């Protein structure tokens, strides 16, 4: 993973980059230098002769080149954020650190350097103010970490960056993962020097090796690696071992331990509204999520029946976790006698309004938990509510598996309210 410094001219990208690269034993790549080499001209010459558009084209070519590199420190040009494809590429294998400073500080640091043509204003100050106002939201959106460099030496800033504890989600795809905003909001709320990024990976063996090399503190693991990556870990927590799948890695000085927080998340979500002791539960599903939930439920004193479209998978799962019974969906009428119904299938995810359990079997004593979280209120949950029962939203499982990960990564209790409101916002509101 590269460390990519972004920010305005004068924010200290090169000075900080030099010290950081030395501290970490990495190569420093200065993007502006590569552009100069590519064009065979200095930047003012490129801009006066061919315009800023030509400069930006060259910059995009350079971005493509540098993102093929690994374990470097990259000092970008101030305008790299203007192109969103640049940011997407840099983020694929990079931690983006935004170095901020006030206009006065930036102008002080640049000093009398008149070599760079003005972009927007008539004076250096006006140019800086207009450009900064335009780019601020772009830097903000791109940044994984923000560091105010005002009044700090490059040495101090580099030290802060080197000390950041990095966590990430790996999988394929990961671009739309909700984990980065949830975890980052929690770090910010507690003032922890942590950052959480999304790294798409097509080579899980290399990704796990990189976790050790880069000293990542914690990793969330998602599809398709929850089972296949187990073999690369040093230790596996008993729950994850029993399930045969994991979603979390904690790195203790190079020793990687795998955990599964999906089941814990589901139990916590349910226990917010109902006691589980002695309850009759119908769990529908035969995939990875159903397995994690079933194993967690059997750690409680519950009476568990597993139903699945493919009945043989339900039976396999029931044998694995020691459930009381298993069958195909022909037995869905069992819901009428149950205390709790859990949907752990994909049914309900689409807007077609499908539901796993016909309304006639829902009743007022029933708690219904649909782990599908998009849409927030599936048809199953809507009908359960209308039938007078308790409902548990799928996002609650996502939330609680993340709070369990947060605690494993940081050792601090998770700030639940912050994480919940961030998740709800990321899902599109109320």
CB of 291 to ligand NAP, least distance (A): 7
Nearer CB in complex with ligand NAP: 86/343: 343
Which of the residues are catalytic? 226
C-alpha to C-alpha distance for 422 and 403, rounded to whole angstroms:
12
C-alpha to C-alpha distance for 400 and 407, rounded to whole angstroms:
11
C-alpha to C-alpha distance for 405 and 418, rounded to whole angstroms:
15
Nearer CB in complex with ligand NAP: 20/372: 372
Residue 112, Cβ density class (10 Å: 0-12 exposed, 13-18 middle, ≥19 buried): exposed
CB of 290 to ligand NAP, least distance (A): 6
Closest by Cα among 221, 216, 220, 258 to 240? 258
C-alpha to C-alpha distance for 427 and 270, rounded to whole angstroms:
20
Nearer CB in complex with ligand NAP: 171/286: 286
Nearer CB in complex with ligand NAP: 80/342: 342
Instruction: Write the secondary structure of the chain as one string of H (helix), E (strand) and C (coil).
Output: CEEEEECCCCCCHHHHHHHHHHHHCCEEEEHHHHHHHHHCCCHHHHHHHHHHHHHHHHHHHHHHHHCCCCCEEEECCCCHHHCHHHHHHHHHCEEEEEEECCHHHHHHHHCCCCCCCCCCCCCHHHHHHHHHHHHHHHHHHHCCEEEECCCCCHHHHHHHHHHCEEEEEEECCCCCCCHHHHHHHHHHHHCCCEEEEEEECCCHHHHHHHHHHHCCCEEEECCCCCCHHHHHCCEECHHHHHHCCCCEEEEECCEEEEECCHHHHHHHHHHCCCCCCCCEEEEECCCHHHHHHHHHHHCCCCEEEEEECCHHHHHHHHHHHCCCEEEEHHHHHHHHHCCEEEECCCCCCCCCCCCCCCHHHCCCCCEEEECCCCCCCCHHHHHHHHCCCEEECCHHHHHHHHHHHHHHHHCCCCCHHHHHHHHHHHCCCC
Report the DSSP beta bridge partners of residue 281.
Answer: 304, 340
CB of 345 to ligand NAP, least distance (A): 3
CB of 313 to ligand NAP, least distance (A): 5
CB of 354 to ligand NAP, least distance (A): 7
Q: Token pair 């912050």 is at which residue? A: 418
Nearer CB in complex with ligand NAP: 233/398: 398
The footprint of ligand NAP (CB under 6 A) covers 262, 265, 285-290, 308-310, 313, 344-347, 349, 371-373, 394, 397-398, 401
């Amino acid at each position: 993973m590269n460390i990519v410094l972004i920010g305005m001219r004068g924010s200290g990208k090169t000075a900080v980059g030099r010290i950081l690269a030395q501290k970490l034993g990495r190569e420093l790549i200065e993007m502006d230098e590569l552009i100069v080499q590519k064009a065979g001209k200095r930047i003012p010459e490129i801009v006066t002769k061919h315009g800023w558009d030509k400069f930006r084209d060259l910059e995009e070519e350079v971005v493509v080149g540098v993102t093929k590199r690994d374990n470097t420190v990259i000092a970008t040009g101030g305008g790299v954020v203007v192109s969103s494809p640049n940011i997407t590429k840099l983020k694929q294998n990079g931690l983006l650190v935004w170095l901020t400073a006030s206009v006065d500080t930036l102008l002080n640091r640049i000093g009398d350097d008149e070599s760079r043509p003005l972009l927007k204003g008539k004076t250096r100050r006006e140019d800086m103010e207009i450009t900064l106002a335009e780019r601020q939201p772009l830097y903000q959106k791109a940044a994984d970490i923000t560091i105010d460099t005002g009044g700090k030496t490059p040495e101090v800033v580099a030290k802060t960056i080197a000390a950041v504890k990095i966590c990430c989600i790996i999988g394929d795809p990961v671009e739309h993962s909700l984990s980065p905003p949830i975890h980052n909001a929690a770090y910010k709320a507690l003032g922890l020097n942590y950052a959480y990024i999304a790294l798409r990976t097509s080579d899980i063996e290399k990704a796990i090796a990189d976790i050790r090399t880069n000293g990542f503190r914690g990793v969330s693991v998602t599809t398709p690696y929850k089972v296949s990556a187990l073999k690369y870990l040093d230790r596996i927590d008993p729950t994850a071992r029993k399930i045969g799948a994991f979603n979390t890695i904690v790195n203790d000085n190079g020793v990687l331990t795998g955990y599964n927080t999906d089941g814990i998340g589901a139990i916590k979500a349910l226990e917010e509204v109902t006691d589980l002791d002695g309850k009759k539960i119908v769990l529908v599903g035969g995939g990875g999520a159903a397995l994690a939930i079933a194993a967690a439920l059997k750690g409680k004193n519950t009476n568990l029946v597993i139903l699945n479209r493919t009945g043989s998978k339900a039976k396999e799962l029931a044998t694995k976790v020691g459930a009381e019974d298993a069958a195909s969906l022909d037995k869905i009428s069992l819901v009428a006698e149950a205390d709790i119904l859990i949907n752990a299938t994909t049914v309900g995810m689409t807007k077609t309004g499908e539901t796993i359990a016909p309304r006639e079997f829902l009743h007022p004593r029933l708690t219904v938990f649909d782990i599908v979280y998009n849409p927030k209120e599936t048809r199953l949950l809507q009908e359960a509510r209308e039938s007078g029962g308790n409902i548990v939203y799928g996002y609650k499982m996502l939330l609680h598996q993340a709070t369990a990960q947060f605690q494993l990564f940081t050792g601090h209790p998770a700030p639940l309210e912050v994480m919940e409101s961030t998740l709800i916002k990321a899902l599109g509101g109320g």
